[in-house]
A and B are shown apart, each in its own frame.
Chain A
């Protein structure tokens, strides 16, 4: 079944740890996105990619980094986590042409807590 997956779903870690949030999709989509969402707030785009070896920073500045070595995989890394990074991180993907260009499909999210 075509879908988009995120792991872990929940993560509690201490300050200074390096973490990687995984995102994979089986829909064959070229475009992928990372959003940050705080409770009661809108989604903010932090990274996006239009294809392999293509990554761009989004509208909200983030200390995280991303990579796109394979079409289906778009991991997000924090080199040194801090309490200010506590948030929900949502991964999304969309097709490349026509109406599908704008329809984004979301994963279940990773809720990160940094102590």
Chain B
């Protein structure tokens, strides 16, 4: 079983829709949670970063972490065609030999059509 599970999609939505992307994980040591966006033939770029449980909002993007359920989400409001990309969740533990090392989900391919 993978430490991080992410539905690869693909997910296709109309412009203006609310998008929900999710990851589940099994390692209770994970404390840092990130979402990366990767456009085709580019490197991933950091989109959102949260520590422990709770919500974080940045413009049209909201990241949620529920450590009790080992579940994280990224919501995109008023989605735009420019949001079309692969979204990767990533997690890291605190301390020990895993400190600073990220474990990635498979990525969800999102297409927002006009």
Docked-complex contact A42 and B102, CB < 8 angstroms: no
B residues near A99, Cβ cutoff 8 Å = 32, 49, 51
In the assembly, what is the distance between CA of A43 and CA of B106, in Å?
8
Docked-complex contact B105 and A109, CB < 8 angstroms: no
In the assembly, what is the distance between CA of A109 and CA of B88, in Å?
16
Verify if A112 is at the interface (C-beta below 8 Å from B).
no
Docked-complex contact A102 and B34, CB < 8 angstroms: yes
Contact of A102 among B43, B102, B105 (CB under 8 A): B102
Give the residues from 93 to 108 in chain A that come closer than 8 angstroms, CB to CB, to chain B.
94, 99, 101-108
Docked-complex contact B8 and A40, CB < 8 angstroms: yes
Docked-complex contact A109 and B106, CB < 8 angstroms: no
Contact of B102 among A6, A104, A109, A111 (CB under 8 A): A104
Docked-complex contact A108 and B100, CB < 8 angstroms: no
Contact of A106 among B41, B44, B107 (CB under 8 A): B44
Which residue numbers of A lie inside 8 Å of B, CB to CB?
Answer: 6, 31, 40-43, 45, 48, 50, 58-59, 90, 92, 94, 99, 101-109, 111
| Given A42-B105, A102-B102; 20 other pairs, CB 8 A cutoff | A6-B43, A40-B106, A41-B106, A42-B4, A42-B6, A42-B104, A42-B106, A42-B107, A43-B88, A45-B101, A90-B43, A90-B44, A99-B49, A102-B100, A103-B46, A103-B49, A104-B46, A106-B43, A109-B42, A109-B43
